[in-house]
Amino acid sequence: MRILEAVETVNDTRKRAMARKVSAVFGGVLRGKTVAVLGLAFKPNTDDMREAPSIPLITALQDMGAKVRAYDPVGMDQAKQVLTDVTIPRASDSLTRS
């Protein structure tokens, strides 16, 4: 069982590492910035949010002070139930509007 726990830990670390990469693009400062996240569900063409990589990514971005706007063509209803303090527009083209 320990190997599975280690794999989970590494996977979670990689998901949060993506947020650090986003932060690096902005000179390490995300406070006050708005970041768009496309694709929220665990896999394409589903609304399955269980273990979705977008959850720790969004949480890490928020922890760094970013505002998050997110969209998934199929998983919007489920995402609304799982994600907090995330702006979820009706259409993807709304991600770039204030």
> Across residues 6-22, what is the average pLDDT?
87
How much is the pTM?
Answer: 0.85
Strand, coil or helix: what is 95?
Answer: helix
What is the CA 90 to chain-centroid distance, rounded? 17
pLDDT tier for residue 12 given thresholds of 50, 70 and 90: confident
Element (H, E) at 7: helix 2-25
For 18-68, the pLDDT digits (tens) are: 999 999 999 999 999 999 999 999 888 999 998 899 999 999 999 999 999
- Assess whether pLDDT exceeds 80 at residue 17: yes
